[in-house]
């Protein structure tokens, strides 16, 4: 490979990971701002693993793997299951291929058929990924992925997924599968775990009420709990109604959050 090709491929490698990892982290921030209970458990895991160790002393060997195989990694995997930022991947059958759907019906996909693997359908299908809580519906009665956000479901896969390169279950393949799976899944996983650790070790994230809700609270004479509840419901609606796919799945409207320094333990 020539020097120019090497530089070009390196640039593309880093650029491709920028949008995917960035959008994934964005959804993670929103998930944790809404689900304060999970945010608290994430912070507890970071405190246990990292203790008072300064960030410039963290290493992949000593710190990344314990985080990735523990609750922090489970938060990342669950976020990529519910809000995988790649909508689908194309694959062409190189031979006649037998497939069986969830109802047990058998099909033959002819050779040279172009197939689009739908990530969202695969990762949210209730027969494959049943809800872990009795009620994952919002106030309108619709299923909401935010309420189905449960990192503990990954405990059963702890022995199967011991490092990023192991991610590729038949029912969960956020980085793709096979010889054309994402080359950057290890680097991307390290980056995202590092950002989670750097942010949530010292800070908490919370939703910010939009001006409209603040103005309504003044008119109604409502207090902060009313504002908090309305902001929560508004965020839930945003994370369904305003999620669209252009090149990547992303939130198309602003959902303001703020970082707040954590109180000393």
Q: Rounded to whole angstroms, what are the CA distances from 73 to 96, 133, 163?
A: 37, 21, 10
Is the pLDDT confidence value at 15 over 80?
no
Cα–Cα nearest to 181, from 86, 74, 65: 86
Give the integer Cα–Cα distance in Å for 234 and 241. 10
Mean pLDDT over 86-109 rounds to 91
Q: What is the pLDDT of residue 264?
A: 67
Evaluate if residue 97 carries a pLDDT over 90.
Answer: yes
Q: Which two tokens stand for residue 137?
A: 């519906």
Q: pLDDT value at position 265?
A: 59
Tens digits of residue pLDDT in 119-154? 888 898 888 888 877 678 777 778 888 888 999 999
Residues 190-247 pLDDT 10s: 999 999 999 999 999 999 999 999 999 999 899 999 999 999 999 999 998 999 988 7
Q: How many CB atoms lie within 10 A of CB 84?
A: 24
Which two three-digit tokens encode residue 256?
Answer: 């303001």
In tens, the pLDDT along 45-84 reads: 999 999 999 999 999 989 999 999 999 999 999 999 999 9
pLDDT one-digit tens code per residue, 169-183: 778 888 887 777 888
Q: For the chain, what percent of residues have pLDDT higher than 90?
A: 54
pLDDT grade for 164, boundaries at 50, 70 and 90: confident
pLDDT at residue 261 greater than cutoff 90: yes
Determine the pLDDT at residue 158. Answer: 80
The answer, yes or no, to whether residue 165 has pLDDT greater than 80, is: no
Sign of the Cα pseudo-torsion (178, 184, 185, 187, in order)? positive
Return the closest-CA partner of residue 121 out of 157, 86, 163, 146. 86
Distances (CA, A) of 99 to 93, 102, 105, 117, 225: 12, 10, 8, 13, 52
């Amino acid at each position: 490979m020539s020097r120019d090709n090497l530089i070009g491929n390196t640039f593309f490698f880093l650029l491709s990971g920028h949008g995917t990892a960035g959008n994934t982290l964005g959804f993670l921030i929103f998930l944790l701002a809404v689900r304060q209970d999970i945010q608290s458990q994430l912070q507890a895991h970071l405190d246990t693993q990292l203790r008072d160790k300064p960030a410039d002393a963290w290493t992949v060997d000593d710190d990344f793997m314990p985080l990735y195989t523990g609750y922090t990694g489970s938060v990342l995997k669950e976020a990529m299951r519910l809000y995988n930022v790649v909508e689908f991947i194309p694959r062409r059958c190189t031979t006649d291929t037998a497939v069986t759907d969830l109802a047990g019906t058998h099909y033959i996909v002819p050779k040279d058929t172009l197939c689009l693997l739908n990530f969202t359908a695969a990762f949210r299908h209730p027969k494959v990924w049943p809800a872990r809580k009795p009620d994952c519906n919002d106030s309108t009665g619709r299923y909401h992925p935010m309420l189905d956000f449960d990192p503990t479901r990954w405990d059963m896969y702890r022995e199967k997924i011991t490092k990023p390169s192991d991610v590729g279950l038949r029912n969960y393949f956020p980085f793709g599968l096979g010889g054309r799976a994402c080359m950057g899944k290890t680097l991307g996983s390290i980056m995202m775990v590092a950002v989670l650790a750097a942010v949530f070790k010292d800070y908490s994230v919370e939703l910010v009420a939009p001006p409209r809700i603040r103005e309504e609270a003044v008119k109604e004479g409502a207090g902060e709990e009313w504002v908090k509840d309305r902001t929560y419901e508004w965020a839930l609606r945003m994370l369904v109604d305003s999620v669209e796919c252009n090149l990547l799945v992303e939130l198309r409207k602003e959902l303001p959050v703020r970082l707040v320094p954590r109180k000393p333990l």
